[in-house]
Chain A
């Protein structure tokens, strides 16, 4: 960290802070209370509420946008400030409906809190109210403008964090403020009111519905009950809900969430999850995390018969096939089964990831990649994303991409065969390169070429890269200004004087232009070099994020090798995104075998196909608990082992029961936590001692960080670029925005269907339904327009295991196919 640490005092308390940090953030980190409604810790200041007024070195400043200086003395309140704040709260209360009795936010409402905090008990201001109708913005968002105080937190978070920028302030159409107030009211309260009276929140696309990823982060940040999920409206009061701290089980971000539970109904006293909330000041969730919570497997009793059959099935099985949506503990149990019973372990996505990682480890000597996404979010100002459809694969990395543009004023390159207009909409300094399928090696070589320290780079590689340089001579016309000295004789005085004249001449010149053929391979735009030069100005902190396309690639080993080289020889910090929830954990814990999909092998499937199926989805031969019904740990892409908790009851058998029956179990599933192998970076700690929260300063205090194990790297030279040619219609294995697996599909608020997602132009060709053929198997699926996609590639989801999409795609995420209108 290059920032200088400074010391300042807030209300007499000495606080350490980074220079340039906002006073409000310093106060929050040091647990000093400064009232603020509109400011979000990680976002840019909005200055809508003006309630965070403080006195810094005798001057009145807004804590949310005043920067901390060394030796600064801040007073959080004095009489005048309190009056100013009270006036603001009195204004906020004007025409705010007195319906706290039914409001969903009542009890956790910031308007209520601050009204009481600033002891507002009278209403001196008055204005005619405007009719504002409640609206449903999308399948999940419910907006009641009557309750809205236009603090713009939703707008800010949507723009700064999420990147959708789907909502904005619009005209309210209210009456003008009485001119008298300008004199009689405190200044800040008047200007706040003046703005408030004119605005209301609307979708930014001038329609009645938002075009966004339905992440619901606006709901989370709303201080009042104006924004609520449609499903949650009026179902319960916030104080009745029990918060169960857990970890989201849908993607490899492993975000911290709270399952908020309450008995289902009066008749049914079983706990039910009513909503998912997050620490929105420190972390943003995606739509799957927030709304895909009711995927529990309700099992009322143990099915002993099925259990017996399961034991026999496992004893006689030759292989266990599973997905990465399992805990570390379960993964370790499966590995134990492999060791004790000699069964094979099949897990396609984790195996691919493991292959990539092991090759990476071989060449870099590191077990784990070096980049840290949380740090990148705070510091990075240049990001390259390769091999991942960011919008679909990992919302957190997408937020990272957006963050770097919005908050760190950075630039970004997005390499992907499928164009995505959302990414380019995130900032001005973004270039999207829709490269050909299978040319990821070229990208990595290009990065080496562009950024690597050439002197340290092995000469063979240098040579290979240089071989792509095409030096051409080009004649350019250059204006050359030369000084010409002339001796002029003054006519009058007769003196001769030397004067210097500037003469511009056009000179033709031949220069060497280095064209990089690698960029041609990638179909980069013609002026890419110039653009890049502009992007790179004043940039210090480089990030590279890598996605699933690289693990499902014919040249996977070579790609990993190149990544290792990039990490070694360029300033990039590299983050590798595990393809599924706990792929990293599974890859570290299990020795996986190649799944040949041989029908002769008897398999037990865990949440996937097999001859005998253990299922958390409720459709198998023996029920297993779903992720919100079990305790355990997950290994997320931040290289942390984070705990999750059971929010919903489960009365059936767990994997540990099977282990016990076979004779190598533990008392409890969480007893396995301390057995996770320390040789693979895990720590031997008890589950119950794992924290799951954030500190005041937003530091993640969850579980523990995986330890990186280093080995001696083998230095070798990566192979040359191999381009595979894919022709015809191309399918891309990619899930829709809020779908990650069958669990999200089971949740009732996730509506994205199993369909073909295509760009608008493509949809016009395909119609409503299309039939495609992969490996001689025909699929007829509905066609859904994804208006942010561009290009001809068709996205085919893989979240339903019954379609065996992984099997059909083999070792690539792209597949050629034939398609026709159905």
Chain B
């Protein structure tokens, strides 16, 4: 795995494109014949054979294979990838961040988010139910972008197949478990606050 990543990083840095020298198609019969002779008795065919044989050798005895043994191994997901949503908690209190404002529900272009809210005993708006219908979700990321509290974000779970349509779709399934709060990372993907957000804010005078 590490090897592959290193290689990927190496490739990522500099892209070395090579323009192919595409010769003209043979026009006369003789040209064609010459081309066949050249290709047959030139090394081209054997180069091909050599390359495949060499790769086979290196696969069996050398560098190994490219294949990622999914699902035993998984590739890391880029932060901007839009996978199954996560509902985050406040790091200080462990309360969930969602305030039930309904903006995600409104902005959702596939109309797959639904929530029930109520007035709770602490005189706060409480989200009593929250679901995303992943059969309809197109993972556009608008919900994460519109969320004023960074409560709903795209997590790393991209395996959407399940026996039940309802899987992952409830608030509790998406919510960061309270015992894993320490592992919660601030979202840096689609819709996160920009790194220079503080600079763009005009402060309110608080004279008193």
Query: A239 near B106 (CB under 8 angstroms)?
Result: yes
The complex places the Cα of A94 from the Cα of B124 at a distance, in Å, of 22
Query: B131 near A123 (CB under 8 angstroms)?
Result: no
Chain B residues positioned under 8 Å from A101 (CB to CB): 99-101, 103, 148-149
Per-position contact with B for A500-530: 1 when CB-CB < 8 Å, else 0? 0000000000000000000000000000000
> Which stretch (A40-48, A126-134, A728-736) binds chain B?
A126-134
The complex places the Cα of A302 from the Cα of B102 at a distance, in Å, of 36
The complex places the Cα of A267 from the Cα of B115 at a distance, in Å, of 10
Chain B residues positioned under 8 Å from A239 (CB to CB): 102, 106
Interface residue from B101, B105, B126 paired with A106 (Cβ < 8 Å): B101
Query: A102 near B100 (CB under 8 angstroms)?
Result: yes
A1 adjacent to chain B (CB < 8 Å): no
Do A266 and B114 contact each other (CB < 8 Å), given the known contacts A101-B149, A126-B208, A234-B119? yes
Per-position contact with B for A107-139: 1 when CB-CB < 8 Å, else 0? 000000000000001111011100000100000
Query: B208 near A127 (CB under 8 angstroms)?
Result: yes
B125 adjacent to chain A (CB < 8 Å): yes
Interface residues on A, range: 20 to 34
Chain B residues positioned under 8 Å from A127 (CB to CB): 208
Per the 8 Å Cβ criterion, residues 190-239 of A in contact with B are 233-237, 239
A594 adjacent to chain B (CB < 8 Å): no
Query: B105 near A240 (CB under 8 angstroms)?
Result: yes
Chain A residues positioned under 8 Å from B118 (CB to CB): 234-235
Query: B117 near A126 (CB under 8 angstroms)?
Result: no
B17 to chain A, nearest CB (A): 47
The complex places the Cα of A100 from the Cα of B149 at a distance, in Å, of 12
In chain A, what residue has the closest Cβ to B131?
A: A266
A618 adjacent to chain B (CB < 8 Å): no
Chain A residues positioned under 8 Å from B124 (CB to CB): 102, 234
A263 adjacent to chain B (CB < 8 Å): yes
Chain B residues positioned under 8 Å from A124 (CB to CB): 205
The complex places the Cα of A239 from the Cα of B125 at a distance, in Å, of 17
Chain A residues positioned under 8 Å from B208 (CB to CB): 126-128, 175
Query: A102 near B204 (CB under 8 angstroms)?
Result: no
Query: A102 near B206 (CB under 8 angstroms)?
Result: no
Query: B101 near A235 (CB under 8 angstroms)?
Result: no
Interface residue from B101, B114, B204 paired with A123 (Cβ < 8 Å): B204
Greatest chain B CB density within 10 A among A100, A102, A121, A122 is at A102
The complex places the Cα of A236 from the Cα of B105 at a distance, in Å, of 11
In chain B, what residue has the closest Cβ to A127?
A: B208
A265 adjacent to chain B (CB < 8 Å): yes
A265 to chain B, nearest CB (A): 5
A811 to chain B, nearest CB (A): 49
Query: A236 near B148 (CB under 8 angstroms)?
Result: no
Query: B115 near A126 (CB under 8 angstroms)?
Result: no
Interface residue from A100, A122, A134, A234 paired with B126 (Cβ < 8 Å): A234
In chain B, what residue has the closest Cβ to A99?
A: B99
Query: B129 near A266 (CB under 8 angstroms)?
Result: yes
In chain A, what residue has the closest Cβ to B170?
A: A266
B31 adjacent to chain A (CB < 8 Å): no
The complex places the Cα of A123 from the Cα of B206 at a distance, in Å, of 10
Chain A residues positioned under 8 Å from B130 (CB to CB): 266
The complex places the Cα of A233 from the Cα of B103 at a distance, in Å, of 17
Q: Can you list 14 A-B contacts with CB-CB less than 8 angstroms, sorted by A residue number?
A: A100-B101, A102-B99, A102-B125, A106-B101, A134-B123, A234-B100, A234-B117, A234-B118, A236-B117, A239-B102, A240-B105, A265-B116, A266-B115, A266-B129
8 closest pairs, A vs B, by CB?
Answer: A101-B101, A102-B125, A128-B208, A234-B125, A237-B102, A233-B119, A234-B119, A266-B129
